[in-house]
A and B are shown apart, each in its own frame.
Chain A
Amino acid sequence: MKKTTINKIISTILLAGVCEVGLVGVPAMTNLSRASDNPKVIEITAKKFEFTPNEITLKKGEPVILRLTTSDRVHGFMSKQLKVDTDIPAGKTTDVAVTPDTAGNFTVICDHYCGTGHGGMNMKVTVVE
């Protein structure tokens, strides 16, 4: 999903107050989902050239919020398999709501070029039944 499309969806969600998609990037502290009133929050920090933590485990069908920040510069946070594609701008918190619908091992990469180690900047997401 393109970032421009994500932004449009975010606006729609904020206006409608509902969340119909599995995963989007949204501003922090927004009422995100009617599927779960208190989704688990997982904080992830990006910096050149790593995510911390670099491995998380999610449960299939269980909504979570990935709370993304960066300690240096803008990074990307993208996984086609998990249908997530957002930037992590410096100085802001970016929340991503995800409800994994498939068990397995997935890779999230930084897709916003950040320097010579960029190609190895990724993290593992394990989704269990």
Chain B
Amino acid sequence: METKFDRRSFLRVTGTALSIGALYSVFPALTRKAGAQGITRTLAELNGEAPAPFSFIQLSDTHVGFNGPPDPLGTKAFESAVATINGLKNRPELVIVTGDLTHDADSPDEHAKRFKLFKEISSKIGGAQLKVVPGENDAGLDGGDMFREFMGPTHYSFDHRGVHFIALDNVSAGRPIVGAEQIAWMKSDLARFPKTAPIIVFTHRPLFDLKPEWDWQTSDGDDVMNALAPYENVTVLYGHIHRENFHQAGTTKMYAARSLIFAFSDPATSPKKHPLPFDKANPFKDLGIRRVNGNANGSDLQLEEIELATAQFSGTVGMDQMLKHGSADGKDE
């Protein structure tokens, strides 16, 4: 990981999509360097808040309501992730969920129950603001109406400690598209910032052609990237693909997070998209949280992998009992 400070890379977003979620440390070096003072002042004037170190977590694809196969755990990984976040010594200030909060349901009433359950579980995250964008399961059939009812707008922006965050909706049109109107809004939203401003975009689908024949793309992703191209410190966080991925276009870095239900196969080695089989002996296999901290002198960052605990599901409850609630409701992502 590059750690030397310069004006072109003063935003440090570390953690390359990481397990069940990702803990990002922002600005571990910026505030320690005299060279950043001008930018810091500028951003403070724009945002009313100067850049300062903070951490946040990305979760994705919780699919509340999905009960396998292939993954019979329902919301257990989501609940474990919440417990893990709450147990972190260095608490995140934000928790960002990059879509597919719920698993789609044929019945609107059932879908509404799933949104309520998502809110119930996520409300147990202590001390962090929750920021979400929809996935196609949340908003693909009704244009985002139910998502807006339960979670708020499908696209928006906000500032946090000097970083500008943009939530992009690339699902509620039904098709994988952001749309000219939203892109125009984003350009207008960004117009007040200098080209060096730290910007984090979070969305559900990849904004590049990761694997179009697996529906892993956004049809007007190039238009979004062109609108972001003038800005030198852009990070895109997304989900949808249920596995880690890193991609860089120009200076923009794009990270996918793993899901909270089954992972998908590797497009580099698998001829067809398919969910990876459930491992009863290791139900949260490859899941966990990576904690990233700047060290005392602001040089090398420390990365710490945190596994999700399964102990809470053992003993009197037992794995077999835990698995009893599984059904055949879900078919795919």
Q: What residues make up the interface of A, taking CB atoms closer than 8 Å to B?
A: 2-4, 74, 76, 78-81, 85, 87, 106-107, 109, 111-120, 122
Q: Is the CB of A85 within 8 A of B219?
A: yes
Residues of chain A within 8 A of B305, CB atoms compared: none
Closest residue of chain B to A80 (Cβ to Cβ) is B212
Give min CB distance, B93 to chain A, whole Å.
33
* A-chain residues with CB within 8 Å of residue B330 when the two chains form the complex: 116
**Given known contacts A80-B217, A109-B213, is B174 in contact with A115 (CB within 8 Å)?**
no
Query: By DSSP majority rule, is chain A's interface helix, strand, loop, or mixed?
Result: mixed
Q: Are B174 and A113 in contact (CB under 8 A)?
A: yes
A6 to chain B, nearest CB (A): 11
Q: How far is the CB of A124 from chain B (nearest CB, A)?
A: 10
Q: Between A and B, how many residue pairs show CB distances below 8 Å? A: 65
Chain B interface residue count, CB cutoff 8 Å, equals 28
Q: Complex formed: what's the CA distance from A35 to B106 in Å?
A: 46
Q: Is B136 an interface residue (CB 8 A)?
A: yes
With A3-B219, A118-B136 already in contact, the answer to whether A87 and B175 are too (CB < 8 A) is yes
Give 10 closest A-B pairs by Cβ, nearest first.
A113-B140, A119-B332, A107-B213, A80-B212, A113-B136, A117-B331, A116-B104, A119-B333, A112-B174, A112-B175
Q: Min CB distance, A70 to chain B, in Å?
A: 13
Q: Identify the closest chain B residue to A76 (Cβ).
A: B175
* Chain A residues within an 8 Å CB radius of B214: 109
Secondary structure type dominating chain B contacts: loop
Other than the known A79-B212, A119-B215, what 10 A-B pairs have Cβ atoms closer than 8 Å? A78-B219, A109-B214, A111-B176, A112-B174, A112-B175, A116-B104, A116-B330, A116-B332, A118-B332, A119-B332
Scoring B141, B175, B273, B330 by chain A CB atoms within 10 A of each residue's CB, the highest score goes to B175
Q: Determine the chain A residues whose CB is within 8 A of the CB of B273 once the complex forms.
A: 119
Is B209 interfacial (CB 8 A cutoff)?
Answer: yes
Chain B residues with Cβ below 8 Å from A122 are 213
Over the window 92-107 of chain B, the binary record of Cβ atoms lying under 8 Å from chain A Cβ atoms (1 yes, 0 no) is: 0000000000011110
Instruction: Tell me the bound Cα distance from A111 to B137 in angstroms.
Output: 13
Complex contacts, A78 vs chain B, CB 8 Å: 212, 219
Write out, one digit per residue, whether chain B residues 289-301 have a CB within 8 A of any chain A CB (1) or not (0): 0000000000000
**Is B260 interfacial (CB 8 A cutoff)?**
no
A/B interface sample: 20 pairs, CB < 8 A = A2-B177, A2-B220, A3-B177, A74-B174, A79-B212, A87-B175, A107-B213, A109-B213, A111-B175, A111-B176, A111-B219, A113-B171, A115-B106, A116-B103, A116-B137, A116-B330, A116-B331, A117-B331, A118-B136, A119-B273
List the B residue with the shortest CB-CB distance to A108. B213
Q: What A residues does B136 contact at CB under 8 A?
A: 113, 118
Is B219 within 8 A of A117, CB to CB?
no
Taking a contact as CB atoms under 8 Å apart, the answer to whether B106 and A2 are in contact is no
A-chain residues with CB within 8 Å of residue B141 when the two chains form the complex: 113-115
A80 touches B213 (CB 8 A): yes
Write the chain A residue with the least CB distance to B220. Answer: A2
